[in-house]
Structures are given as C-alpha cells and as structure tokens.
Structure 1
Amino acid sequence: MPSIAVVYHSGYGHTQRQAQAVAEGADARLIAIDADGNLPDGGWELLAEADAIIFGAPTYMGGPSWQFKKFADASSRPWYSGAWKNKLFAGFTNSASTIGDKTSTLNYLFTLAMQHGGVWVGTGMMPANSKAATRADLNWLGVWSGAASVSPSDASPAEMFPGDLKFATEFGKRVAEAAARWSRK
C-alpha cells in the first residue's frame, strides 16, 4: 500500500476540513502547515517517505496563502537533491467565491510539483453541469486539475457544501488508486 501525505495550510478551518476529506479518501497522513508557515516536527521526513504528496492551500488574492508559499520555498532543499523526483502529486484549494481564481492556486501547486520532477494527478471526474445540478453534487464547479471547493465568507467550516466534501474524498481515492498503480514494487 502506498504512503500518501497531505500537506496543507488552512487559515480559517475550511481548507483543513477539505484536507481531512481528501486524506480520508486517500488513507493519507495529514501534515498541517502552521500559522507561521512551518511544518510540525517530523513533517519533512513524512514527505520524504511518501509515494504521493497532495498539496492543499486556501486561495487568497488569486494564489495560495503566504504560509503555503513559505513551505514551498523551503521545499528547495528536497528539490536540490531531487528527493521528490518521480513522486505523484495532486492538489486542492478552497475560497469564498465561486470562481475566486482557484485555478491560479491549482496552477501554482502544479508548477511546484513539476519543479520537483513529479507526476500530477487530476480529478478525472465529470462535472455536474446540468440544469438539475446543485452544490450537493460531485464536481459542481467543473474542475479537472485538482479538487476545488467554495466556502462563503460568512460560513463556518461545519457549513461547507456536501458536494465539495464528497468531491474531496473521491479525489483522495483517485490519488490513492493512482499511487497504488504508480508505486508497484
């Protein structure tokens, strides 16, 4: 069974809830980036051991939080040694607006993975784009590069849309399936 790590930053708890759903689907270990942009003790070692790394960050002002960017900059150490080369990568994000430039954050996460020499896993899920579709449906935003969710600015993490959390869990399952295929030993 492949080892999967979800490394994420959450400013208000919504991205944490999304990370938990992704980790549940992937049977992954959670590694939270703290408010100062640092990993917990042992976090870098867990990432080194992982067959797949799933990045998660809220989208603020058209990109990931500065705490996630600090982590990304610090990842230059494994980059320099090629430690993460050929790992699988994936990503997810959350913002208050329906569009909210989430794809800018997903593109940032993708670029970080490519700089590490990784292989990206997208959602592979059809969108819920019929007239009957609702926010309770899987992939109601129609995103393929990574899992995306919406949390209105006045909503608590407990009020996240069920479709977004289901999407995150299914996305985690997809990454786990890809990692099982990729890391056959």
Structure 2
Amino acid sequence: MEPVNLSVIYYSATGTVHALARAVAEGAEKAGARVRVRKVAETAPAEAIGARPEWARHLRDSGDVAEAGHDDLSWADAVLFGTPTRFGSPASQLRAFIDTTGPLWFAGRLADKVYSGFTASNTAHGGQESTLLALANTFYHWGGVIVPPGYTDPVQFKSGNPYGTSHVVGDGVPDEVALQAARYQARRAVDVAALLKAGRRTR
C-alpha cells in the first residue's frame, strides 16, 4: 500500500506549538506516513518580536524549518494545522497563509483530504476549543474530511480535548500527556487518510 503523505503546517511564536508539531510528525512517521513539517511565515513587526526575548529566540532556533507553500497542501493526503490561540481564533500568521489558498480551493485541489488541528493557549480557558472550531470552518469550505481525535484513545481522557491536541502554556512546556495526544492524533489522521486513499484506488 502506498504511504500516506502528511503535512504538518503550523505557526509558533515561542515554541510550544512547534513542540506539538514535532510530536505530530513523530506520530505520523511511526504510523508509516511520509511527513513534511512546515512553518508559516512570520508577519509580526520586528519591534514586537524583539520586545519578547522568548519570541525572538524561537524565531532564531526554528530558522532551519522550511516555510509552508501551496505544494505542501497539494502533495498531502492529510494536513494537520497548528496554531496558538489569539482571542479564541487562529493566529493571524496562519490565517495569512490560509488566505492565499484560494486558487487551490477553486481548482478543487483541497477537497477530500483529511484535516485536523492542534493548539495552545496561555490559560486553561483561553480559547482552545473555539480556535480549533474556527479552523474547522476553513476545512468545511475546502470540502475536507475533518478527523478529530475524539475520545477514541485513553490518552484523550487525560488530555481532555476531543477537538484536537491542546496545551496550556502557563503549565510549562508540553508534558508527555500532551505529546502523546499529539502523536495519537497524527496516527488517527494517517489511518483515516490511508482508508480513503485505498478506497479511491478500488473505485
């Protein structure tokens, strides 16, 4: 069976979502997928970044991660998007990338792929669920197949978010529960994408 192609496309200011993206990639690779990890371009002004040392540091530390392009969407059978919450919505940097995808959408090249999302917020009630639901609004327009983790694995009863992996930044760096949840979410996305891919070959 041909492997699933999975893209992890994310924005991370200080490294939390980056860590979750890495765990997503690990889970997908362990499930047998070919994986691309891509960050979206930073659009914040230099003075805003420089005012927060951890933001500037992560920007330097992640300099080797390639930036996302339309080919990463066209190539993929499944795409997991990661973003911090911004007032209960995806970060503007990720939205800026998504807003460039109109030509792919219009040509039908984003339909029938598996999509899922993951996020982080500063506080426990900082908009994690609304951010993931807002991401799903885009997937509906694309005609995507939305695959949330749900409560389909024991780790989800520990992580507590059936919409997608999430982490509270105020609790520190992502712990093993959050990383396990990210790996599981990726494996679930790969499994569903593999079934869809196999089904298309037999039609």
Report the Cα distance in structure 1 between the residues aligned to 2:100 and 2:69, rounded to whole angstroms.
Answer: 12
Matched with 1:77 is: 103
Matched with 1:173 is: 187
**TM-score, normalised to structure 1's length?**
0.84
Which amino acid in structure 1 is aligned with residue 38 of structure 2? Answer: I
Q: 1:9-30, CA deviations, whole angstroms, 9 ceiling, x for partnerless residues? A: 1111000000110111012211
Which amino acid in structure 1 is aligned with residue 105 of structure 2? Answer: W
Matched, 1:123 2:141: no
Matched, 1:45 2:71: yes
Matched with 2:37 is: 30
Matched with 1:64 is: 90
Of all paired residues, the percent bearing the same amino acid is: 30
SS at match of 1:89: strand
Deviation, structure 1 residue 145: 1.9
SS at match of 1:152: helix
Matched with 1:151 is: 169
Aligned-residue CA RMSD in angstroms?
A: 2.1
SS at match of 2:123: coil
The answer to whether the Cα contact below 8 Å between 2:119 and 2:167 also exists between their aligned partners in 1 is: yes
Deviation, structure 1 residue 127: 8.0
Matched with 1:109 is: 135
Matched with 1:132 is: none
Q: Which has the higher helix share?
A: 2
Deviation, structure 1 residue 124: 3.1
Q: 1:25 to 1:91 in 2, by over 3 A?
A: same
**TM-score, normalised to structure 2's length?**
0.77
The answer to whether the Cα contact below 8 Å between 1:8 and 1:55 also exists between their aligned partners in 2 is: yes
Q: 1:22 to 1:87 in 2, by over 3 A?
A: same
Matched with 2:60 is: none
Which amino acid in structure 2 is aligned with residue 15 of structure 1? Answer: V
Gaps of 5+ in 2: 30-34, 45-64
Matched with 1:142 is: 160
Q: 1:71-94, CA deviations, whole angstroms, 9 ceiling, x for partnerless residues? A: 121122211211111111111111
Q: 1:58 to 1:51 in 2, by over 3 A?
A: same
Aligned length: 172
Matched, 1:89 2:115: yes
The answer to whether the Cα contact below 8 Å between 1:151 and 1:161 also exists between their aligned partners in 2 is: no
Report the Cα distance in structure 1 between the residues aligned to 2:69 and 2:156, rounded to whole angstroms.
Answer: 31
Higher Rg of the two aligned structures: 2
Matched with 2:49 is: none
